[in-house]
């Protein structure tokens, strides 16, 4: 009998790529999004069900989970993928925007986990996968609020992994790199307009220029889908699944050097003088 996965934020980007990847692997897929009527999946297997889910609405999350169980009998893997991006100078970022980012990227993840945990506990097990970012491994300038929202989920998931282990539930992290044409840019929208004051313009221009000429390739949607599949099917105790060469580079630097070496390398990397 096929296993079932539920994925939030599946209309585009990583979520859609993961949904299609799991369909190809023979899984039942519950692809959730705010407006499923606008989805463009071309599925003929009968193993795909589109469901409305607003990650900022706890009642919507519970309703989607109930509908998913009604459709396929169980939810073996739950993926918190829905998220929004933000690039800004922090001093120019309105408090309301900070709260908006956290409502989706952090509190939405918490609410979804709180809804799916009792379901998995009664089932006798399952896997929860929270999608964060390379910015959840190593902070970068001009994305302080976004980093904070992802670091919150990193710590939350690590704690949850220990807490849920006695119930046969695995909590895991998939950490994509930066994909300019997918989730971060597409889901940032107009909220970034006007959030880089003139005093920051030169620094921001130099920084974004460096990001456009990154020393490794950026991750792809396929690499993220593959990392989600690995996290969903791994019987071991691995917590983090970096996706893409850019994330793996940051992870290697973070976890194989001292804190002083790491921060000095990053400081030079982000210096407008190119490492002086």
Give the pLDDT score at 67: 98
| Average pLDDT taken over every residue of the chain | 91
Range of the domain at 187: 4-197+219-244
Residue 257 inside a domain? The answer is no
By mean pLDDT, which of 145-149, 216-220, 242-246, 256-260 is the weakest?
216-220
Residue 60 inside a domain? The answer is yes
Residue 259 inside a domain? The answer is no
Highest mean pLDDT among 63-67, 135-139, 269-273: 63-67
What token pair was written down for 148? 């904070």
Residue 250 inside a domain? The answer is no
218 is catalytic: no
Total domains in the fold of the chain: 1
CA distance 61 to 54: 7
Residue 103 inside a domain? The answer is yes
Catalytic residue among 146, 178, 218, 241: 146
| pLDDT tens profile 220-253 | 999 999 999 999 999 999 999 999 999 999 999 9
Residue 21 inside a domain? The answer is yes
- Nearest-10 crossing angle of helices 259-270, 198-212: 110
Taking the whole predicted model, whether its pTM rises above 0.85 is answered as: yes
25: domain CATH number?
3.40.50.720
Q: Is the pLDDT of residue 256 over 60?
A: yes
Phi, psi dihedral angles at 174 (to 5 degrees): -110, 130
Measure CA of the first residue to CA of the last residue in the chain; give whole Å.
Answer: 59
Look at 209 and 275; give whichever has higher pLDDT.
209
Q: Is the pLDDT of residue 180 over 70?
A: no
Q: How confident is the model at residue 53 (pLDDT cuts 50, 70, 90)?
A: very high
Residue 157 inside a domain? The answer is yes
Cβ(137)–Cβ(242) below 8 Å: yes
Residue 261 inside a domain? The answer is no
Look at 29 and 276; give whichever has higher pLDDT.
29
Mean pLDDT confidence for 252-260? 93
CA distance 20 to 5: 11
């Amino acid at each position: 009998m096929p296993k079932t996965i539920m994925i939030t934020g599946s209309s585009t980007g990583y979520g859609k790529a993961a949904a299609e990847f799991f369909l190809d692997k023979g899984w039942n897929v519950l692809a959730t999004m705010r407006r499923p009527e606008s989805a463009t999946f071309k599925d003929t297997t009968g193993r795909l069900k589109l469901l409305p889910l607003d990650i900022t609405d706890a009642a919507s999350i519970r309703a989607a989970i109930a509908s998913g169980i009604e459709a396929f009998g169980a939810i073996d893997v739950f993926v918190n993928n829905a998220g929004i991006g933000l690039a800004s100078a922090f001093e120019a970022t309105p408090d309301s925007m900070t709260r908006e980012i956290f409502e989706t990227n952090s509190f939405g993840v918490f609410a979804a986990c709180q809804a799916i945990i009792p379901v998995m506990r009664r089932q006798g097990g399952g896997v929860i996968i929270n999608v964060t970012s390379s910015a959840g491994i190593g902070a970068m300038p001009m994305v302080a609020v976004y980093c904070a929202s992802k670091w919150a989920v990193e710590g939350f998931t690590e704690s949850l992994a220990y807490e849920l282990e006695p119930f046969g539930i695995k909590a895991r992290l998939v950490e994509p790199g930066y994909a300019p044409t997918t989730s971060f840019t597409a889901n940032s929208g107009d909220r970034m307009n006007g959030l880089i004051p003139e005093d920051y313009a030169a620094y921001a221009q130099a920084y974004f220029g460096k990001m456009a000429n990154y020393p490794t390739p950026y991750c792809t949607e396929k690499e993220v889908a593959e990392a989600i599949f690995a996290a969903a099917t791994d019987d071991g105790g691995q917590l983090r699944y970096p996706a893409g060469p850019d994330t793996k580079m940051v992870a290697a630097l973070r976890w194989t050097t001292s804190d002083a070496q790491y921060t000095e390398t990053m400081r030079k990397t982000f210096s407008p003088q190119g490492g002086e």
